Structure 1
């Protein structure tokens, strides 16, 4: 299985604060990968470094065998990367339907396309709220809309920051079920979340950050074998 995303020796700073210390990992085509760690350990900084929101002091990001270094965020996203940010990023003046339609973009490489009808079939709640503004939805519905909007771009890689943070248990279960469906459709995913029990079942590969360094990397069997050590890093 070939690499879709390659992250090599990222060192990223906020001013004089050195946050990432040589972070490296790969995501292969079709893989679901978890990125775990306590708050403030560098997870979101890693995502922003991949997306070009932050410029690493050194290191390299490659996607689809192409170097992304120096490219602005919008050009990286145009290479079929989609991002669901923490906080969901709703537009105050757009309805649910407009959020979805404005993001629509084909991808000729994909066998399974995520179009408007497919997204609404995956998120029936959105079908009932098409005329509502995105900001009028509940937190769970906003997360569904944020994921649906991202899928409308037909990405090769979907990045989810705090995929189920702050959501009610039943809504979290719905989101995890959708992530399973996304994986089955062939979309690679990079998932930031704290639910190690669910992540070990959904994801193929796992990364744990501690103070901006990769302290664990392995598959689900390795995660299970080293569960006590990983949970100590996560504080659970």
Structure 2
């Protein structure tokens, strides 16, 4: 199986603050990968470096074999990449319906498309909120909308930052079930979350960051064998 994404020796800084120290990992097409680490270890900066929201000082990002390191964020997203940011990123002046309509893009993958109706069938409670502004939704509903907005772009790679952070247990369970459905459809996914038990059962690969460096890069089987060590890095 070929690599969809290759991160090679990324060094990223905020001003004089050196956050990422030579991050390298890869993601195969169709894989689901967890990016784990304590707060402040560089997880979000890694995602932003992939997306072009942070410009690495050195290193490279390859997507489907193409060096996209110098591309603007919008150019990367047009290559069938979607992002669900921490905080959900609701537009203050758009309704739920408009959030989904403005992002919609036809599928280029030859698989069943994630269209407006499919998203509403997946998240029935959004159907009841179509005329509400995105900012008027609860935290859980906003996360559903953020994921739905990403899905209607019909991505080949979906990146979720803090997938269930701050959500009620029942809503978290619902979000995880949707992520399982996404995995089954073959969309490659990178997930940042703190729930190691769910990530363990869901993801094919696990990358652990400590102080901006990859300290563990494990298969699902290897995670099971090294769980105590991983938990020590996460402070579990």
Shorter-normalised TM range? over 0.9
Shift of 1:111: 1.0
TM-score by length of 2: 0.99
Stretches of structure 2 lacking an aligned partner (at least 5 in a row)? none
Shift of 1:20: 0.5
TM-score by length of 1: 0.99
1:48 matched residue in structure 2: 48
Stretches of structure 1 lacking an aligned partner (at least 5 in a row)? none
- Structure 1: how far apart are the matches of 2:75 and 2:91? 21
- Structure 1: how far apart are the matches of 2:186 and 2:228? 32
1:36 matched residue in structure 2: 36
- Structure 2: how far apart are the matches of 1:153 and 1:163? 18
Deviations 1:142-178 (A, max 9, x none): 0000000000000000000000000000000000000
RMSD of equivalent CA atoms? 0.7
1:191-230 equivalences under 5 Å are 191-230=191-230
1:73-222 equivalences under 5 Å are 73-222=73-222
- The answer as to whether partners of 1:112 and 1:186 remain within 8 angstroms in 2 is no
Deviations 1:92-125 (A, max 9, x none): 1110000001000012224121001111111001
Runs of 4+ in 1 over 3 A off after TM superposition: none
- Structure 2: how far apart are the matches of 1:90 and 1:184? 27
Paired residues, what number?
236
SS of corresponding position for 1:46: helix
Shift of 1:220: 1.3
